[in-house]
Amino acid sequence: MSTKYISTRGGGTPLGFTDVMMTGLARDGGLFLPFNIPCVRDKLAVWKTLPYRELALEIMRLYTDIPEHDLKMLIDHSYSSFRHREVTPVVSPDGELYILELFHGPTLAFKDVALQLLGNIFEYVLARQSRKLNLLVATSGDTGGAAIHGIKGRKDMKIFVLYPNGGISPAQERQMTTVQDENVFCIAVNGSFDDCQGMVKEVLNDLDFRDRFMLGAVNSINWARLLAQVVYYFYAAFRVMEKRDVAQVRFSVPTGNFGDIFAGYIAAQMGLPISLLILASNENDILPRFFNTGIYERGSVRKTISPSMDIQVASNFERYLYYLVGRNPAVVRDLMCGFSGTGRLEIKMPASGQLDPLFAAGSCDTESALSVMRDLYRATGYLLDPHSAVGVHVARMFPDPHRPVICLATAHPAKFGETVQRATGSKKAGRHEILDKLASLPVRREVMPASVEAVQDFIARHS
Which residues are catalytically annotated? 111
Among 257, 304, 419, 424, binds ligand PLP (CB under 6 A): 257
283 binds ligand PLP (CB under 6 A): no
Nearer to ligand PLP, 136 or 407 (CB): 407
Alpha-helix residue ranges (DSSP H) falling in 206-277: 207-212, 223-244, 259-270
Are 137 and 198 in contact, with CB atoms under 8 Å apart?
no
- Return the range that interacts with ligand PLP (CB under 6 A); candidates 46-54, 257-265, 348-356, 432-440: 257-265
Using an 8 Å Cβ cutoff, are 284 and 304 in contact? yes
Q: How far is CA 14 from the centre of its chain?
A: 24
Run of H or E residues at 58: helix 52-61
* Nearest residue to 115 (alpha-carbon basis) of 238, 21, 233: 21
CA angle centred on 192, ends 21 and 22, rounded to 5° = 10
Query: Residue count at the site for ligand PLP (CB under 6 A)?
Result: 16
Q: How far is the CB of 144 from ligand PLP (least distance, A)?
A: 10
Residue 277 backbone dihedrals phi, psi, to 5 degrees: -110, 120
* Minimal distance, residue 204 CB to ligand PLP, in Å: 18
Q: Please choose, out of 250-258, 329-337, 367-375, 435-443, the segment that lies near ligand PLP by the rule CB under 6 A.
A: 250-258
C-beta of residue 145 within 8 angstroms of C-beta of residue 172 = yes
Q: How far is the CB of 292 from ligand PLP (least distance, A)?
A: 18
Using CB under 6 A, which of 164, 191, 259, 404 touches ligand PLP? 259
Interface with ligand PLP (CB under 6 A), residue from 410, 414, 417, 424: 410
- Of the candidate residues 22, 109, 121, 414, the single one contacting ligand PLP (CB under 6 A): 109
Q: How far is CA 341 from the centre of its chain?
A: 26
* Minimum distance of ligand PLP from residue 318's CB (angstroms): 14
Please identify which residue in 158, 201, 239, 387 interacts with ligand PLP, judged by CB under 6 A.
Answer: 387
Distance CA(132)–CA(25), nearest Å, equals: 18
Does residue 210 bind ligand PLP (CB under 6 A)?
A: no
Q: Is 142 in the site for ligand PLP (CB under 6 A)?
A: yes
Question: Near ligand PLP by CB under 6 A, which window of 32-40, 42-50, 253-261, 331-339?
Answer: 253-261
- Between CA 143 and CA 32 the distance in angstroms is 20
By C-beta, is 150 or 254 nearer to ligand PLP? 254
Task: Confirm or reject binding of residue 163 to ligand PLP (CB under 6 A).
Answer: no
Distance of CA 150 to the CA centre of its chain: 14
**Cα 230 → chain centroid:** 11
Q: Does 256 bind ligand PLP (CB under 6 A)?
A: yes
**Residue 137 CB neighbours (<10 A):** 25
Binder among 175, 192, 252, 308 for ligand PLP (CB under 6 A): 308
Can you tell me the distance from the alpha carbon of 71 to that of 124, in angstroms, rounded to the nearest whole number?
Answer: 10
Residue numbers of the site for ligand PLP (CB under 6 A)? 109, 111, 142, 220, 254-260, 308-309, 387, 410-411
